[in-house]
Amino acid sequence: MSKETVETQKLNKVKKSAAKQATNPISGSPKMPKLKAVEKPASQEAPNLVATINNFNANKTHNRLYSGYANNPITNKNVVNGNELANAVCSALKNRTDVSELFVAIHNTCSEKLNSIYTGFGLYHETSKCVDFKLFSKVGGTYSSKIFQSDAENPIMECFTTQKPVLLKDNKFLNIPYLKNCETVVLPLMSIDKCLGIMLLGRNDLESNIELLGFIAKYCGLFIHNFELIEQTAKYANTDNLTGMYTHRGFQEVLSSELEKAKSNKTPLSIVMFDVNNISKINRELGHAKGDEVIKVLAEKIKQSARNSDIAGRYGGDEIALILPNTNTADAKYLAEYITYCLSCCFIDDVGPVKVSVGISTYPDCSENQEKLLILAEQAMIISQAKGYKEGMSAIISSSDFNFWDDEALNSFAQVLSKRHSQLGINYEEELVQKFNTSEIKSQNHLIEMVTSLTGAIDAKDPYTKGHSTSVSRYSEALARAINLPEEEVQRIALGAQLHDVGKIGIPENVLRKTDKLSDEEWEIMKQHPTIGAEKVLAPNPGLRDLIPMVKYHHEKIDGTGYPMGLKGDEIPLEARIISVADAFHALVSDRPYRKGMPLEKACAILKDGAGKHWDSDLVRHFIAIAPSLSTSV
């Protein structure tokens, strides 16, 4: 063997010896050299979020703080991709509306991305001094427990108290027999230096990802804190300071939710509305403090009498509304009677017993629309107020107790809309038309009652034409009899004449009430009312469609200069020509904003002068003959 060969063999032995000394005797993997700690510059003390996540992706040594818990080698398979997990967590938490949803979303994400065996969450309750803990297993099982603050040795309470992670080799402390044993980490849910609870995760090889898991726990802590702040804000925003009940806005939100439940479960729901009688007088004569005292008494009695499922809110200044789920009208009346009885036993200094007006509406019997239900409850409450004053005691009225077309009902309906609901886009006249077209006509008298109420409400839009429709109907009926039409046709013409101006329901009040001459644009708007009346009001109602020609063509003229179609002579239906003469006569003899009403002789002279041009000559002759016998009072 040559000298060179001997030297080579010695060198190889030295290399083998050095390699053997540098090998970990347990794992067989190369030992990592110890690095001397280097003090970070101040600018690196708080790395940004991107740098933090990127740092999670780098291969790391075992954290020496937890040395001894995990001795498995670190491989690329064990290290989680930080960017991927962070994005998954953000997607999972997006649009979550409560903490329970958050916990389930994080559990699903950890199961999928970390292959975790189980995930647990616990929030601390200040009152009971415990962590309310719930565990979700990968196979779908759940486990709940309370960890009290006195159990200081429990890793969950240890983590919460120290606000530091606790890494364990097993999960025996959970005492869940069916749970697969594995490494467990308990992490604090932190937000603004406050520990809200803990997050627990079970999976092997946890130590290599401890920093990433801590980051996720902090992220969840911020979310939970935000939920708490939102709930507190909503609670203060939706709570009335005087009564402790829901505010108007809160009440509306709860009512919307309860109506959805009623619709889904196909159950009734009633709204009971209370209004303190004479509250304005109490405030004026005794001061607002006394008025507040009365409202507080009303609120307390309602709280004491209501069931656990009922929800109360301060609907207006002196109005309190009560939502009664799964309650029909009869049961709602029974509860309202009990509350009014309790109030009658409450005597307040200088006021006496508390008296209230009570209105009730019920879903779905009265309406399925939330705003309509509230309108009907208020309408019933206003009628209750009138009846209560007459009878000297609280009257409980349901919206099903009265005829919508009664004057009292119509007036209260208009009062409700003008007071509270006009800003919500609910139009009084349109509501009347809708009710008119959906009401069941029980008899001819009922139809006449409805028509009279509808036209009276429309005439009220213009104070200068009040009673116009009724007068034109009476004149048309007289003229129809004067030309010897059959009685059935006379009555039909009287009804059509009553509705001849019903289309003004769609004309803006600023045009109807204008005292000066209408502009060309305004006049074009006004000329639409015959068509609106025919198509919007009469056409949807099969029983009234035969009246359409009277309503649509009563402004046509014999010479073809009228509107809306420009019909001539006999092209204009006879009944429309009759109403045209009666309409013109009443317009001449009644007061207008620009002139006083004309004497009978002058009005007849104008009709005679326009005969054959504007009006049917034969009809004008007959009308002038009977005009002196007609009352011209308006």
pLDDT in tens, 392-434: 567 898 888 876 666 666 666 666 655 554 444 445 666 677 7
Most confident of 287-296, 447-456, 575-584: 575-584
- Which of the residue ranges 22-26, 272-276, 341-345, 532-536 would you say has the lowest mean pLDDT? 22-26
Highest average pLDDT, of 101-110, 264-273, 406-415, comes from 264-273
pLDDT at 164: 92
Q: Which pLDDT value is given to residue 428?
A: 60
118-125 vs 352-353, strand pairing mode: unpaired
For the stretch 429-436, contacts whose Cβ atoms lie closer than 8 Å and that sit 24 or more positions apart, written own/partner, are 429/457, 429/458, 429/461, 429/505, 429/506, 430/505, 432/457, 432/505, 433/505, 433/536, 433/537, 435/404, 436/537, 436/541
Binned at pLDDT 50, 70 and 90, residue 631 comes out as low
Q: Global pTM?
A: 0.47
* Better-scored residue on pLDDT, 358 or 412: 358
Across the range 530-550, mean pLDDT stands at 88
Q: Is the pLDDT of residue 14 over 70?
A: no
pLDDT per position as a tens digit, 467-478: 788 889 999 999
Whether 125 has a pLDDT exceeding 90, the answer reads no
Q: Are 73 and 27 in contact (CB under 8 A)?
A: yes
Q: Is the dihedral of CA 400, 404, 406, 412 positive or negative?
A: positive
Rounded to 10 deg, the angle between the 574-589 and 468-482 helix axes is 130
The β-bridge relationship of strands 184-191 and 194-202 is antiparallel
CA 24 to chain CA centroid, Å, is: 68
Q: In the predicted model, is pLDDT for residue 5 greater than 80?
A: no
Per the model's pLDDT, the better-predicted residue between 128 and 167 turns out to be: 167
Beta-strand runs (E) in 394-538 = 396-398
Cis amide linkage into residue 564, ω under 30° from 0: yes
Contact 554, 579 (CB under 8 A): yes
Domains in the chain and their CATH numbers?
A: 51-235 (3.30.450.40), 240-423 (3.30.70.270), 427-634 (1.10.3210.10)
What residue type is assigned to position 322 of the chain?
L
CA distance 352 to 443: 47
More confident residue, 46 or 3: 3
Average pLDDT for 178-193: 89
Which of residues 449 and 192 earns the better pLDDT score? 192
Question: Which residue matches tokens 């304005």?
Answer: 280
* Average of per-residue pLDDT values in the chain: 79
- Alpha helices in 81-209, H assignment, sequence order: 82-93, 99-113, 155-162
Q: Is pLDDT of 180 > 50?
A: yes
Q: What is the mean pLDDT of residues 289-296?
A: 88
Average pLDDT over residues 221-245: 77
Residue 294: pLDDT over 80: yes
Mean pLDDT over residues 8-29, rounded? 46
Report the amino acid identity of residue 326. Answer: N
Using an 8 Å Cβ cutoff, are 543 and 447 in contact?
yes
Give the C-alpha separation, 12 to 17, whole Å. Answer: 9
Distance CA 183, CA 169 (A): 5
168 Ramachandran zone, left/alpha/beta (phi>0; psi -120 to 50): beta
Q: Are 606 and 548 in contact (CB under 8 A)?
A: no
Are the CB atoms for 115 and 107 separated by under 8 Å?
A: no
- Strands of the sheet containing 269-276, edge to edge, are 311-314, 319-325, 269-276, 356-363, 396-398
pLDDT of 411: 67
Place of tokens 């007609």: 630
Q: Residues in the chain, how many?
A: 634
Contact between 145 and 133 under an 8 Å Cβ cutoff? The reply is yes
The whole-number pLDDT of residue 279 equals: 84
